[in-house]
Amino acid sequence: MIVSVPTAAYLLAMKLRACRAPLPGYAGDYGDLAFLLGKMDVSSLEAAEATYARFFPNDAMSETAVEVVRQVLSKPDKP
């Protein structure tokens, strides 16, 4: 069996692209984004956009993704 593990940066880019809605009682991509941004020490929107652009150079981040990143970064107790 071959197990492949994506890098944190790639995972962050994919999560930013999908940015799926939270379900009742399940934060979904939002929780994962908060975790990954904290884990990778991403401290600005521009840094998140740069990570996204590495993997999706022809697309801009969606309005929702931008807003979610802003929200996570504005929290004083971000992970």
Partner 1 sequence: MTSKPTSLREVADQSDTLAGFGRNLRDWLHEVRHLTSRSQLERALTDNPPCLNGRFPNGDVADAWLASYAELLSSQIDREPPAWSFEPSRTAREPWFAEDYTSPRLRLLALLHSPLPFKRRNIYALNVELVLHLRAGRPRKPENQKRKTNAARQSRFRARRREELERLRRLLQANSASPETAGNEPDFAA
Using CB under 8 A as the criterion, which residues of the chain lie in contact with partner 1 when the complex forms? 18-28, 30-31, 62-64, 67-68, 70-71, 74
Planar angle of CA 34, 13, 23, nearest 5 degrees: 50
Cβ closer to partner 1: 11 or 33? 33
Q: Which residue, among 46, 48, 44, 43, has the nearest Cα to 11 in the 3D structure?
A: 48
Cβ closer to partner 1: 7 or 43? 43
Q: How far apart are CA 79 and CA 59, in angstroms?
A: 27
Cβ closer to partner 1: 42 or 69? 69
